[in-house]
Amino acid sequence: EAEAGPSRGAFIVLEGLDRSGKSTQVQKLVEYLKSRGVEAEAWRFPDRTTAMGKMIASYLDSKSELDDCAVHLLFSANRWEKRSLMEAKLREGTTLIVDRYSYSGVAFTAAKGLPFDWCKAPEVGLPAPDAVLYLQIPPEAALERGGYGEERYEKLDFQRVVASKYEQLRDATWQDIDARKGPDEVQAVLRPIVDRMVQTCKQGRPLSRLWP
């Protein structure tokens, strides 16, 4: 165990397949934390508001084509461009609840057949989340939830491969959450986990770097 550092906000990532309920749970967690007087913000990757984010959005919308390696590096650069703001927020005590991060980056590109280690390399050195909460749902069940949209990657066969790549990314911060239940039930599982991590980080849990 590393020595305690300065008090800070927690960095919590929600991961999972499309339609696993990440965005809903992120919003609910932030509302919950704020109602408890905890400074918190909802973030998401890709962040489509930046110049790089706009290139990514156009690619996902099939309005442009990009080489698989190039777009992988764009997704990664989109995290790097937010790194200093992220670290500043955490330092000032704001908890960040983040919808997708480097785990999506690796799982989705590896699902196209690129080597795992190559996919991980550009993420090395980014702030590591304190907890990765993986909303686990069978791809078929996710599809039944009103179906996927029209975006690139929102296809059953591809989502199956992505799920198998996610499985290989489990580390010490990773927790599987059964996401087949209703939104309130899932939220009830997440809250105590997040509460505990907010306390731990307030007490100075050192921020580590990918990959821990």
Question: From the CB of 203, what's the least distance to ligand FDM, in Å?
Answer: 30
CB atoms within 10 A of CB 183: 12
Instruction: Mark the segment that binds Mg ion (CB under 5 A) among 12-20, 63-71, 109-117, 191-199.
Output: 12-20
Nearer to ligand FDM, 18 or 130 (CB): 18
Instruction: Mark the segment that binds Mg ion (CB under 5 A) among 13-21, 30-38, 47-55, 125-133.
Output: 13-21
Question: From the CB of 18, what's the least distance to Mg ion, in Å?
Answer: 4
Q: How far is CA 82 from the centre of its chain?
A: 14
Q: Report DSSP state, residue 17.
A: S
Q: Looking at 10, 28, 30, 108, which residue binds ligand FDM (CB under 6 A)?
A: 108
* Residue 53 interacting with ligand FDM (CB under 6 A): no
Which residues neighbour 187 within 8 Å (Cβ) at sequence distance 6 or greater? Answer: 25, 28, 29, 32
Residue 114 Cα distances to 16, 46, 73, 108, angstroms: 20, 20, 12, 10
φ, ψ (nearest 5 deg) of residue 50: -85, 175
Is residue 62 left, alpha or beta, with left meaning phi > 0 and alpha meaning psi from -120 to 50?
Answer: left
Instruction: Mark the segment that binds Mg ion (CB under 5 A) among 2-10, 16-24, 174-182, 193-201.
Output: 16-24
Among Mg ion, ligand FDM, none, what binds residue 15 when CB lies within 5 to 8 Å by partner kind? none
Number of residues that bind ligand FDM (CB under 6 A): 11
* Residue 18 interacting with Mg ion (CB under 5 A): yes
Q: Looking at 11, 43, 75, 134, which residue binds ligand FDM (CB under 6 A)?
A: 75
- Can you tell me the distance from the alpha carbon of 193 to that of 105, in angstroms, rounded to the nearest whole number? 24
Query: Which pair of tokens denotes residue 170?
Result: 């489990």
- Can you tell me the distance from the alpha carbon of 196 to that of 139, in angstroms, rounded to the nearest whole number? 30
Q: Looking at 13, 40, 60, 207, which residue binds ligand FDM (CB under 6 A)?
A: 60
Which residues make up the interface to ligand FDM (CB under 6 A)? 18, 45-46, 60, 75, 99-100, 104-105, 108, 153
